Amino acid sequence: MKVQRTLAPTAAPVSIWTAVRAGKGLWGRGTTRDRIEIELRQYFGANDVLLVSSGKAALTLILLALARTSPRRRIVMPAYTCYSVPSSVIKAGLEVVPCDVDPRTLDFNFQDLERVLDDHTLCVLSTHLFGASADTARVMTLCRNRGIIVIEDAAQAFGGTVEGRRIGSIGDVAFFSLGRGKNVSCGSGGIVVARSESLATRLREEYAQWPDPSFGERMRTWVEVIMTALFLRPWLYWFPAGLPFLGLGETKFDTSFALARMDDVRASLLDGWRERLECLNHRRGKAATKLLGMMAGMKDVWPLPRRETQYLRLPVLVRDHIVKDTLCRLGCEEGLGISRSYPATIAHIPELQGRIAVGPFPGAQTVVDRLVTLPIHEFVNDQDRVRIISTIKRSTQVSSCMPEAEVRGENRAHSASSCSIL
């Protein structure tokens, strides 16, 4: 553990005062939640909106509702995505089908998508990874006449738009995450957005069976929210980041998460969500523009093409895995919030071996080997950005004059330790 200014890779800060005040929700009976659901329904122009305990729970709710009325069992998703996504699919008793991605867009490789779709496909997850908009409209066209439902995984893209349409209102149904590292956060939480009435009815039926969190769970949430509000600050973040048992930012495959409605502690934290979301996204946009300007013309570094929507973190491809490993190690040592993102393709998740296609998924593997994300949240200041850029320059130079095996061995060992902070 190193006591120094330390940036989280991503952050949606909540003021301590707001966190403390959310304690009024401890005795709430869901009225705050119901009110926020109505605000969200209007924002999305959706038929229905449901608030649940996490993004994973939101996806599981959708899958359980869809699977109940269909014999189809296959869920198609990008081979490079958050491990929570296959976790939800397994939790719902369904089958994970990976599809390769295009490393230049992080969206599906559409040729591969046409290959994997078949009569057993229940739905496709069009994923706006890091906030980079996916071409959901194209997936809709492919699925329209085949009875396949399109789910937007908008966990990292709350507030984004594509061609004037809000992300989350393009697919048949969508979900968002309100977890710690997302666009706007209430500690943990998820939003389900249903466009059509028939889907909304099925989702409501499933939701009606879900419990409200107990008083003890609400209390735990509240304490967690206050701790997060406090320790996310760069002058304190070194502390939780250095505690391995917290597993901050680790990407785990885990099916033991709760399936519950959102409680009023978390819902209270969403008071004024729209202004906060717009403000946070605006600041991220400005920070991304600054970093992109500083990277213009740099060798061996390729930021993903900027699209209409807003990034949650800034995704950048570097020359090879040596540069990536060096950069992540140096970035970690200096507390710069540079992240290696997901450690492998979902086809390599140990718990899924034997029940998932092994690939190869060359596009997804390229992303695993070469993608880093740079922090663009409001705690990143100009001085941090100068240090981030000079660290990138150093890692592209250092690694080209070191024997590959040496760099590799050293860094692989290192990345397994405390510096896997996402």
In the complex, the residues that contact ligand PLP under the rule CB under 6 A are 54-56, 81-82, 84-85, 127, 153, 155-156, 177, 179, 188, 190
Beta carbon nearer to ligand PLP, 185 or 391 = 185
What are the structure tokens assigned to 190, written together? Answer: 């998820």
Q: Which residues are CB-contacts of 193 (< 8 A; sequence separation ≥ 6)?
A: 40, 44, 46, 48, 49, 168, 169, 173, 174, 175, 176
> Quick one: tokens of 128?
């706006």
If the CB atoms of residues 367 and 407 are measured against ligand PLP, the closer one turns out to be 367
* Cβ proximity to ligand PLP, 295 vs 371, nearer residue: 371
Report the distance separating Cα 231 and Cα 398, nearest Å: 33
Nearer to ligand PLP, 240 or 389 (CB): 240
SS3 155: coil
CB 261 within 8 A of CB 213: yes
Q: How far is the CB of 2 from ligand PLP (least distance, A)?
A: 27
| Cα dihedral 257, 258, 261, 262 sign | negative
3-state percent helix, strand, coil for the chain, nearest multiple of 5: 45, 15, 40
The least CB distance from residue 153 to ligand PLP, in Å, is 5
179 vs 315 by CB, closer to ligand PLP? 179
Residue number, 153 or 325, with CB nearest to ligand PLP: 153
Least separation in angstroms between CB 185 and ligand PLP: 9
Q: Is 197 exposed, middle or buried (0-12, 13-18, 19+ CB in 10 A)?
A: exposed
Task: Determine contact, residues 172/157, Cβ cutoff 8 Å.
Answer: no
CB of 345 to ligand PLP, least distance (A): 14
* Smallest distance from ligand PLP to CB 227, Å: 17
Of the two residues 156 and 228, which places its CB atom closer to ligand PLP in the complex?
156
- CB–CB of 44/279 below 8 Å? no
Give one DSSP letter per residue of 210-265, joined into a string: SPPPPHHHHHHHHHHHHHHHHHTSTTTTHHHHT-GGG-TT-----------BPPHH
Q: Minimum distance from CB of 86 to ligand PLP (Å)?
A: 10
Q: 50, 207 in Cβ contact below 8 A? A: yes
User: Least distance (Å) from ligand PLP to the CB of residue 188?
Assistant: 6
